[in-house]
Amino acid sequence: MAGKELNNISPSEKIGRRVFDSKDEKAARHAERPWVRRKLFKPKSGNKVSTDRLDHASYERMIEIVKKTDLSRGDRFKGWVFLVVGEASKDGRNVIYSPTHENPYHVDIELPDPVTDNKEDEIDHAQALADIAKWYYPSNNADTLTLDEESDTRGGSD
Partner 1 sequence: MQTETYSTCESQERRLSGGHESIPLFLLGYSFALHERLPVVFFWPGTNISRYPQPNDAILKEHTLGAVLPLRVSGSSQEPLRAAQRDLENVMAVAHEEGFINPSEIALKNARKLLVDMYNISPRYYQVYPTEDGDISIDAPGGYNRSFVALCYRDGRVLCLVNINGDRKKRLYENIESLPDSFATNALERLHQASDDEWLARN
Contacts with partner 1 by CB under 8 A: the residue count is: 24
Which residue, 9 or 129, has its beta carbon nearer to partner 1? 129
Question: In sequence order, what are the beta bridge partners of 18?
Answer: 80
Helix (H) or strand (E) holding 154: strand 153-154
* Closer of 146 and 151 to partner 1 (Cβ): 146
Q: Tell me which stretch binds partner 1 (CB under 8 A): 12-20, 26-34, 53-61, 100-108.
A: 26-34
Quick check: 63 binds partner 1 (CB under 8 A)?
no
Answer yes or no: are the C-beta atoms of 109 and 51 closer than 8 Å.
Answer: yes
Rule CB under 8 A: say whether 34 interacts with partner 1: yes
Give the residue, chosen from 3, 4, 31, 117, that forms a contact with partner 1 under the rule CB under 8 A: 31
Nearest alpha carbon to residue 33 among 145, 134, 154, 137: 134
> Binder to partner 1 among 35, 67, 113, 137 (CB under 8 A)?
35
DSSP string, 101-153: SS-TTEEEEEPPGGGGG-HHHHHHHHHHHHHT-EE--TT-TT-PPP-S----E
Residues 107-136 that bind partner 1 (CB under 8 A): 119-120, 123-124, 127-128, 130-132, 134
| Amino acid sitting at position 65 | I
Footprint on this chain of partner 1 (rule: CB under 8 A)? 27, 31-35, 37-39, 87, 90-91, 119-120, 123-124, 127-128, 130-132, 134, 143, 145
